[in-house]
Structure 1
Amino acid sequence: MTPHSLAFYVDVVITGTVLGVRPTDSPNRVTAVLGSDFGENNFGDRSMCRDYGLAEFYWDRVSADHPWSGHHFTLQVHRLAYRRGTLANEMLRARYGRFTPRLRFEKLQRLLQRRGVPLLEIPEIPANAPYYRTFWQPDSQVAVSVIGTYGEYSTPDSLRVGDVYSIHAPMTADEVEWRRGRVG
């Protein structure tokens, strides 16, 4: 992992933003920062996703005559294992350099701990356990999904146990409590 691309993930977990873009920002704000090279998926006139390769931003709205409201973003880190870093947006590469195909959770966690930023393990949704483990940063409301064991989406030739699968924000304290209640 290059120090620069690892710095990107550290920045996201600490700030809960992608290059300063929050999950609640408008589509225009995301485009202003990340550029216009994206794929757009509309799910009717009430939900939309803009796919920047590594980063995806999601919005919803009450109806077509209402403005978009930012819902969340997801960094699809696992995609880099298949494309060898070409999915990192031009703006991300300009700031952080080359992105390598895998992100080891131990490295990310160690760097965050050095900065006093804890990642707390929270219960996984039963359908995803034991294949994934989820870690949560309460201040930034960022969740990190890690390969827990081999299964349908992880094979020895793509991701390894302990690789980060995705990073998602926000994950609220209410969602964490809901997960704890489902498992407990």
Structure 2
Amino acid sequence: MTPFSLAFYVDVVATGTVLGLRPTDSPDHVTDVLGAGFGENNFGDRSMFRDYGLAEFFWDRAAVDHPWSGRHFTLQVHRLAYRDRTLVNETLRARYGRFTPRLRFEKLQRLLERRGIPLLEIPQDPANAPYYRTFWQPDSQVAVSVIGTYGEYSTPDNLRVGDVYSINAPMTADEVEWRRARVR
């Protein structure tokens, strides 16, 4: 059995969901699962995100009278380095227990490989290279951002080289190909 929060991260990378929530799920459905303890941020009438501390879900819509369309979610793993228990939603804590302040990428990768779930390194945006590295799981379309090296802005929140910074989904094959074409 995988201890503590590691099981959560393995589940997210393997399935591309957070407690079964897909990036495309509605705001109401996300609230039904994660609860009403969130901060809501609106950018005009056409985009918003809900911040649950560790997890953030993003939506947009074509017009005010249209329904929200889910775009992506991000797990802000780096926030856990603040050691603030309130950053982990009650629902997640009830399911997965204690969350550690840092997630070592090599440990996550090893657990995923044991389950036959590969992570492929993909090119990083040149503005962030070499400070961050990005790994992608093609089946679940999840991307994992990892601290790549020390630099003035690359080691926030007391993270170390090899710590996971964030996890987000979806990252489509088209986006991965676009990144690869940019560095050719």
Does the 8 Å contact 2:52/2:89 carry over to 1?
A: yes
Q: What code does the residue aligned with 2:40 have?
A: E
| Residue 84 of structure 1: how far off its partner (Å) | 4.3
Q: Are the aligned partners of 2:143 and 2:170 in contact in 1 as well (CA < 8 Å)?
A: yes
Q: 1:34, CA displacement in angstroms? A: 0.3
Could you tell me which residue of structure 2 aligns to residue 50 of structure 1?
A: 50
Number of the residue aligned with 1:32: 32
Q: Which residue number in structure 2 is paired with residue 67 of structure 1? A: 67
Which residue of the partner structure matches residue 78 of structure 1?
Answer: 78
Equivalent residue, structure 2, for 1:163: 163
Residue 143 of structure 2: aligned partner:
143
Extract structure 1 runs of 4+ deviating beyond 2 A: 83-86
Residue in structure 2 matched with residue 87 of structure 1 by the alignment: 87
- Verify the 8 A CA contact 2:133 2:147 in the aligned structure 1: yes
Between the aligned partners of 1:85 and 1:6, the Cα distance in structure 2 is 16
Report the aligned-residue RMSD. 1.1
Q: What are structure 2's unaligned runs of at least 5 residues?
A: none
Give the corresponding residue for 1:154: 155
Give distance in 2, aligned partners of 1:86 and 1:38. 11
Secondary structure of the residue aligned to 1:136 is strand
Residue type of the alignment partner of 1:64: V
- 1:3 maps to what in 2? 3
Q: 5 Å matches for 1:9-28?
A: 9-28=9-28
SS in structure 1 at match of 2:91: helix
Compute the TM-score of the two structures, normalised by the length of structure 1. Answer: 0.96
TM-score under structure 2 normalisation?
0.96
